Structure 1
Amino acid sequence: MRIVHVSDCFAPRTGGIETQVGDLARHQVRAGHEVHVLTATLGEGGERGGVVDVEDGVHVHRLGARLPFDLPVNPVAGPGLIRSVLRDVRPDAVHVHAGVVSPFAFDGVRVATALRLPTAITWHCMLDGVVGVGRPLVRHTRWRRLPAALSAVSGPAAQRVAQLFDVRVDVVPNGIDVATWASDAGVVPDPALPLHLVATMRLAPRKRAVPLVDVVAAAARRLPPGALRLTLIGDGPARDAVRARVAAAGLADVDLRGRLPRPQVRAAYADADVFLASARLESFGIAALEARTAGLAVLAHAGTGVGEFVTDGVDGFLVADDAAMSDAIVRLAQDRALLAALRRHARTVPPPFDWEHVLDAADAQYARAARLV
């Protein structure tokens, strides 16, 4: 099969969509498909305007333009470049990856459906706050009867998309290499050691890195000195605000590691107990899935995509708010037998999100899209 992915953002940018599109494309190449990625993200050397890189067998078409702040858009030439590539490649399926604001991806939808190509669209975001405004727009535009197979990365995210478009919306989840992240080490938390908390995220307001520090500080105030240890992995625009909040809260045992490659993240998880997912609008939670697969107990907000692979009270806790997350931290610091039970389940029951599962879900969407043409 010849597959074209369309995504505003792609490597060398880092983030959830970029990671998943890249991993999906590489696994599809390994499965024997010819795979192309159309993106508005410039290459490492500023490649743009149609330059094609071949990375791990994936043909990456750099269709962006040089703009301030390297914004991944091409409002003038983008649709024409997309049309030219699609006519040249003649794909069997076009898989568009969308966020709340994805102008390049939506150009891809318009061009691909106009060319009557089988088109699948996957939303990688939560559309909270968009549904009420967007529904009237959808009803009065061609999106109302769009000949495309719609999906999202989790059940909660799909529910919002369905509310917006009032059509069937399936789930194409994110994936990881489960065997790579799985841990075979026995779980015997030492009550004499601090409870080791870890979070991996882009340090940006949407991920709520600063409130995460407040959550940990609130728990620390209820525990003896030295009862908690926090490792925060990631970088981003909120880095300085996080450092300032750590200092203001008086948290002593905090390690701000910056962005790490995957092997170093796995090594960090081997020495941790609990993963904290602080975002309230988490459509899936790749980092949380990796941590849960590595045998960590996961604390996350209820109603997010993390609930697709974490069961409340079984391998973590799905909490109502930040105060409840602080309560859960205190509970696990004081009850190491409970912590051991949560971690044992996470370690011994692998989540069903390996790449074979994801590839099957994507193939089902391509077949569905073909029936809509």
Structure 2
Amino acid sequence: MDLTVAFRTDRGAGDFLDREFGRRVRWDVPVLDGYRHWFLSGPQRARSVQVARAVLAGRYDAVWIHGYSSRGAWVVVAACALRRVPALLRDDATLLRRRALWRRTVKAAVLPVLFRFVRGLCTGIESRRWFERYGVRGRRLFLARHSVDNAYFQRHADALAGTRADARRSFGLPPDQPVVLLCGKLIPVKDPFLLLRAFAEVRRRAPCSLLYAGDGPLRAEVEAAAVREGIPDVRVSGFLNQSEVSRAYAAADVLVLCSERETWGLAVNEAMNFGLPVVVSDRVGCAADLVVDGENGRVVPAGCAVSLAAALRELVCDPERRRRWGARSREIVDAYDVRRTADDVVSAVLQVARRRP
């Protein structure tokens, strides 16, 4: 299969300002290697027209679009319809977030009409439910699961095996007590203060540490709250690049993602490759796919510090449970590898291209 990727912007390919991290970022792993690509230019609103023209010129047998909510996406879909080129729409939207009635009403009226012109690529169970709600189902819906490069993270996990104490020291944490990890941006939707409250409850009864691997606008408030409340062994690492984040997973015993809303949560995939049990909120999209409650982690109600503390307590206080659940995590995540996702997409493209009128 011959792949060409059109990027709306070159942001992310070089040095860029990430406002949620609160700093400039340059990824330290290749992001453009191995495939043909081009960056769209000109006014933002007109950039999708360049892709539409390429479709109308007959250059492509199928078009794979990320996200449904921009006008530009539907300009490209219109070109595909005119040229009778299959359009595959990949989106990780879910029904987990309760929307306003007017918004639900508009979507119920508009999306089934628009989605007649696309095939769907769902990223998991919750994404499938969302597509089916708006009329994309059966032979028009394909799985293209959310995944990471499992081999990359498992190589790092193997290389860092036996270095847990040193990894903890590198973050200023005691080397001999379990570490609870949140890996991500310190922004309101991640609910870092909920985790801090739950951790404080657990820490009163059992020695353990809390590591926030990330940065963001709430960092100073999180650090100040830990000091003000007298919660010991809480650290914020600051931004960790792709080649550095493995050290945080190697230091940890439990991964937490207690977000108020999260369409997926790739940090969960990454942590599971390190053999970590996971605790996620019921508003995290990957829960239905990756977390088998009582086998490799817990799913707790979003916003409930009591439930989160209970889930953390049973893992912090039980090394054998952590070991058993962590091993199960690694088994489950094997099905969510980037190579498997590539096969998913190739299979979908070949099927829709064969059905082309």
How would you bin the TM-score normalised by the shorter chain?
0.7 to 0.9
Match status 1:164 vs 2:134: yes
For 1:193, the equivalent position in structure 2 comes to: 176
Q: TM-score when scaled to structure 2?
A: 0.77
Following TM superposition, by how much is the alpha carbon of 1:325 offset from its aligned partner in structure 2, in angstroms? 1.6
Unaligned runs of 5+ in 2: 15-25, 166-174
Is the 2:8–2:47 Cα contact (8 Å) retained in structure 1? no
Out of 83, 93, 109, the position equivalent to 1:136 is 109
Out of 44, 49, 53, the position equivalent to 1:80 is 49
Q: 1:233 to 1:162 in 2, by over 3 A?
A: same
Distance 1:119 1:329 in 2: 44
Q: Deviations over 1:10-37 (max 9, x none)?
A: 75179xxxxxxxxxxxxxxxxxxxxxxx
For 1:151, the equivalent position in structure 2 comes to: 121
Q: Deviations over 1:219-239 (max 9, x none)?
A: 33x424xx2211112233443
What count of residue pairs does the alignment treat as equivalent?
Answer: 319
Q: 1:136 to 1:352 in 2, by over 3 A?
A: same
Is the 1:7–1:105 Cα contact (8 Å) retained in structure 2? no
Q: Deviations over 1:110-143 (max 9, x none)?
A: 333333222111102325326443011235x4x1
Distance 2:50 2:182 in 1: 40
For 2:213, the equivalent position in structure 1 comes to: 233
For 2:21, the equivalent position in structure 1 comes to: none
For 1:223, the equivalent position in structure 2 comes to: 205
Q: Deviations over 1:87-130 (max 9, x none)?
A: 5681232111116x434334333333333222111102325326
Q: 1:239 to 1:126 in 2, by over 3 A?
A: farther
Q: 1:228 to 1:103 in 2, by over 3 A?
A: farther
Alignment of 1:343-354 (within 5 A): 343-347=326-330, 351-354=334-337
Q: Deviations over 1:232-290 (max 9, x none)?
A: 12233443443444344433322212221223111221121000011243332211111
Out of 199, 213, 226, the position equivalent to 1:246 is 226
Out of 201, 204, 207, the position equivalent to 2:190 is 207
Distance 1:291 1:10 in 2: 29
Is the 2:249–2:274 Cα contact (8 Å) retained in structure 1? yes
Distance 1:65 1:246 in 2: 47
3-state SS of 1:276 partner: strand
3-state SS of 2:344 partner: helix
Out of 44, 51, 60, the position equivalent to 2:37 is 60
Is the 2:9–2:41 Cα contact (8 Å) retained in structure 1? no
Is the 1:3–1:91 Cα contact (8 Å) retained in structure 2? no
Following TM superposition, by how much is the alpha carbon of 1:357 offset from its aligned partner in structure 2, in angstroms? 1.2
Q: 1:112 to 1:349 in 2, by over 3 A?
A: closer
Q: What amino acid does structure 1 have at the position aligned with 2:258?
A: S
Distance 1:247 1:133 in 2: 47
Following TM superposition, by how much is the alpha carbon of 1:298 offset from its aligned partner in structure 2, in angstroms? 0.6
Unaligned runs of 5+ in 1: 15-43, 45-53, 67-73
3-state SS of 1:270 partner: helix
Q: 1:62 to 1:9 in 2, by over 3 A?
A: closer
Identity of aligned residues (%): 22
Q: Deviations over 1:131-179 (max 9, x none)?
A: 443011235x4x1521x21122111122022112353433211222222
